[in-house]
Amino acid sequence: MKKKDDDSVLASLVGLTMLMLAALVFAVFAYCMGLRPLSDAVRTAWRESSLVEVPATVVEARIDTNRTKYGSKGRLKALHAEFTYEWQGVRHRSSLVSLQQHPGVYNSLEWHDVWFEKLDRARSARTTVPAWVSPQGASEAVLDKDVRYEGLWLNAIFVLLFGAISLVFVAGTLMLGLSRFRRR
């Protein structure tokens, strides 16, 4: 009889472990695809109000459409730019195009095209574009300080849906664990 109880306890522990792993996977997905872009948008909106405008000269602008950032072919685009600017008499070089580093699952293709055209036109005409510098850390400037709000609703859905699924798995694990091991 002891052997059967030991096997039952082991099976219960394996089942509870699998439920917790499923909860963890859904929680990580909710964070990466939802909470991280939402928190980045809030941080961007907070930081943009303190930035100071300076003129910048575009040295290079290119758009990469062959590969996504993970190396596979796809519709995602990557915008790369290098520009120079002067802050308090010191010349700096930067490559940061957008202040919003994690725009989320809705990575607007139009944004890349609009900004590439704007930067390439300024580079060709040798005109300046506005860059934005933080007075506290002037060694890095950004060209686009605005928040891309288009896809934040989708990120909110990811947080709510996958966060709720994760919580259901955690609650299920607790209920099953308590019911299984409380009988003893």
Token output for 56:
């910048």
In a domain, 150, yes or no: no
Residues 114 and 169 in one domain: no
Determine the pLDDT at residue 118: 93
Determine the pLDDT at residue 113: 83
**Rounded to an integer, what distance in angstroms lies between the CA atom of residue 127 and that of residue 119?**
10
Residues 75 and 117 in one domain: yes
Interval 49-97: pLDDT, tens: 778 889 999 999 988 776 555 554 555 677 888 999 998 888 999 888 8
Residues 139 and 105 in one domain: yes
Question: Are 49 and 61 contacting, i.e. CB atoms less than 8 angstroms apart?
Answer: no
pLDDT greater at residue 144 or residue 7 = 144
Q: Confidence class of residue 105 from pLDDT cuts 50, 70 and 90?
A: very low
| Percent of the chain clearing pLDDT 70 (strictly above) | 82
Residues 86 and 167 in one domain: no
**Rounded to an integer, what distance in angstroms lies between the CA atom of residue 80 and that of residue 119?**
10
